[in-house]
Amino acid sequence: MKNKFIILISSLVFALFSSTSAKSESITLGWAAWDPANALVELSKGFTAETGIDVNFEFVPWPNFADRMLNELNNQGKTFDLLIGDSQWIGGGAVYGHYVKLNDFFDQEGISMDDFSDATVYAYSTWPKGTPNYYALPAMGDALAWAYRKDWFDRPELQSEFQAKHGYDLGVPKSWDELYDMCTFFQGREIDGQVRYGAAINTERGSEGITMGVTAAMYAWGMQYENPDKPYEMEGYFNAPHVVEAVEFYKKMYEDCTPPGHSDAYMGANLDAYKSETVAFQMNWYAFWPGVSKEDADGRVTGFFANPCQETCAATLGGQGLSVVSYSDKKDLALEYMKWFAKPDVQAKWWSLGGYSCHKDVLGASDFVDSAVYAQGFLDSMGIVKDFWQEPTFVELMLPMQEHIHDYVVNGKGTAKAALDNIIEEWVEVFEADGKL
């Protein structure tokens, strides 16, 4: 009887210990602090309910996001098991060994990259670019786009005045020229007793803001970073006449269309200018449109559209992939989360919560376009996206772009051609030091 009692007590202790151990299993995921992160917290409750694995989160404000995460990776830190890293990080994540290569895992679990949008697989997952070497699962599709004050545009007196002045209807601009016409139409205009302005565009210098903004114009004018037949040959491509024209146009937008003091603005400042009814347009990422749309329940106030065309149709890529950090001690649990996140039903819920799924089952669903007022624009944008350099040295490439473009556009220093020439000069030094030239 005594032995049976001891066995019973031992069994209970073991069961309690096993239960506690299972409940104590957890992983930590790092990402930026923005609206989609809140949606991911809600989504991930399903993973914990299904597996018993808790998911902890560290969300870092965008101005500090790259510094925090890249420092952690470069120091081989173990804080994060999973990281939703920017598209530009994929080269460094692969080359420097920060990210786990996922090919064997995908094959083992039957996860096919053919099930995800081709543009997002190329941008968020592959290194070298376009090869079937995967270091991330497409997690958050995104592109730079526009919101506009539909309620102002719908006013008959403004429609008539605009039509009389420009000879075409006030509405969604089809080109950057039309965007400029509409922005200047609202610049300094009094509506309902308040002075309004044209557009909140990206001008921030500290991280990536003005680069992400000006490239929206440069891509629309047909800019190429390099000779497609000779990698890293940038002279005559990045600083071609049509690219100079695009940068000059962006400066004109800044000077003639932005509200006072909008000289160091990015995501938050653009949102604030729009929400305070200061501007007719805001440039921003699709990631913010669920929040903007939620505040406009009947769809009367705000409309959304993809980046306008000019010489061609293109949009600045945003968005991120989900990667397993190679320094993690919980890679098996992190991979379990990735397997769960890749499921079509989870991806559908991700979209419904305000995340941007890249899964073809979600994007190709018969009701997708009608599921949100910005859904069609998102599809349009993701078909024409272009990204900044995804080289391992992207930070060294971003810094001169930020500096010289900001100096020209905002501070009025020099010419657009000189700014582009200076950028190329510094990029050549970076590529030479990296052994690419």
Measured in whole angstroms, the distance separating CA 356 from the mean position of its chain's CA atoms is: 10
CATH number of 183's domain: 3.40.190.10
Determine, yes or no, domain membership for 17: no
Do 180 and 295 have their domain in common?
yes
Nearest alpha-carbon partner for 284 in 180, 201, 375: 201
Nearest alpha-carbon partner for 52 in 302, 298, 316, 336: 336
Q: Which pair of tokens denotes residue 13?
A: 């202790």
Determine, yes or no, domain membership for 116: yes
Nearest alpha-carbon partner for 29 in 361, 392, 340: 340
- How many domains, in total, are found in the chain? 2
Determine, yes or no, domain membership for 383: no
The strand ranges marked E within 217-287 are: 279-285
Cα separation, 309 vs 307, whole angstroms: 7
Give the three-state DSSP class for 357: coil
Do 131 and 149 have their domain in common?
no
Cα separation, 247 vs 242, whole angstroms: 9
- pTM for the structure as a whole: 0.92
Question: In the prediction, which pLDDT does 299 show?
Answer: 86
Nearest alpha-carbon partner for 88 in 189, 5, 211: 211
Determine, yes or no, domain membership for 99: yes
> Among 329, 345, 375, where does a domain finish?
375
Give the three-state DSSP class for 327: coil
Amino acid identity of residue 194, one-letter, is: Q
Cα separation, 394 vs 405, whole angstroms: 16
Give the three-state DSSP class for 402: helix
For Cα atoms 302, 308, 311, give the angle at the middle one, nearest 5 degrees.
175
Do 169 and 282 have their domain in common?
yes
Do 292 and 163 have their domain in common?
yes
Determine, yes or no, domain membership for 9: no
Question: In the prediction, which pLDDT does 23 show?
Answer: 44
Per-residue pLDDT of the chain (437 residues; tens, 9 = 90+): 444 434 444 444 444 444 334 446 999 999 999 999 999 999 999 999 999 999 999 999 998 999 999 999 999 999 999 999 999 999 999 999 999 999 999 999 999 999 999 999 999 999 999 999 999 999 999 999 999 999 999 999 999 999 999 999 999 999 999 999 999 999 999 999 999 999 999 999 999 999 999 999 999 999 999 999 999 999 999 999 999 999 999 999 999 999 999 999 999 999 999 999 999 999 999 999 999 999 887 889 999 999 999 999 999 999 999 999 999 999 999 999 999 999 999 999 999 999 999 999 999 999 999 999 999 999 999 999 999 999 999 999 999 999 999 999 999 999 999 999 999 999 999 999 999 99
Do 226 and 293 have their domain in common?
yes
Cα separation, 222 vs 309, whole angstroms: 10
Do 267 and 130 have their domain in common?
no
Give the three-state DSSP class for 331: helix
Q: Which residues have C-beta within 8 Å of that of residue 220, sequence separation ≥ 6?
A: 176, 246, 307, 308, 309, 310, 311, 312, 313, 314
Cα separation, 259 vs 212, whole angstroms: 19
Do 425 and 283 have their domain in common?
yes
Do 344 and 246 have their domain in common?
no
Do 43 and 114 have their domain in common?
yes
Determine, yes or no, domain membership for 10: no
Give the three-state DSSP class for 366: coil
> Among 344, 375, 406, where does a domain finish?
375
> Cβ distance 135 to 323 under 8 Å?
yes
Determine, yes or no, domain membership for 359: yes
Rg (CA), the chain: 24
Question: In the prediction, which pLDDT does 24 show?
Answer: 63
Cα separation, 290 vs 296, whole angstroms: 10
Determine, yes or no, domain membership for 155: yes
Do 165 and 123 have their domain in common?
no
Amino acid identity of residue 181, one-letter, is: D
Question: In the prediction, which pLDDT does 356 show?
Answer: 98
- The position carrying tokens 């075409």 is 168
Phi, psi dihedral angles at 194 (to 5 degrees): -125, 140
Residue by residue, DSSP assigns 110-150 as T--GGGB-HHHHHHHTBSSTTSS-BS-EEEE--BEEEEEEH
Question: In the prediction, which pLDDT does 237 show?
Answer: 98
Give the three-state DSSP class for 365: coil
Question: In the prediction, which pLDDT does 49 show?
Answer: 98
Question: In the prediction, which pLDDT does 168 show?
Answer: 98
Do 202 and 117 have their domain in common?
no
Do 119 and 164 have their domain in common?
no
Domain holding 247, by residue range, is 144-316+393-433
Look at strands 197-200 and 279-285 and give their pairing. Answer: parallel
Give, for 82, the enclosing helix (H) or strand (E). strand 82-86
